[in-house]
Amino acid sequence: MEKPKIAQKAPYVLDLEPGTYYWCSCGKSNNQPFCDGSHKGSEFTPEKVEIEEKKKVALCGCKHSKNGAFCDGSHAKL
C-alpha cells in the first residue's frame, strides 16, 4: 500500500465559500490542500468535500487523518 506524501505537518485552516471541493489525498498536488490531478497513476483519489454554507474548516495537511479531508490531529504523531 502506497503512503501519501506529507504536504505539511499542520492543517490548512481556510474560510470556504459554499461549493464542492476536492481534497488532495496523495500529498503531491501543487495546489494544496486541493487536488490538481497529481495522483494520476497512483492508488489515491481525491476526496469530495461539500460545503453548504460559508465556514472556517481545518483540512488535513499531513494526509494521515482518520477523519478524511478534515484534520483530526494525526500530524502531531508524525
pLDDT digits (tens, 9 = 90+) for 3-35: 999 999 999 999 999 999 999 999 999 999 999
Q: Where are the domains of the chain?
A: 12-77
SS3 at position 23: strand
Grid cell digits, residue 44: 489515491
pLDDT tens, residue by residue, 28-60 = 999 999 999 999 999 999 999 999 999 999 999
3-state secondary structure of 22: strand
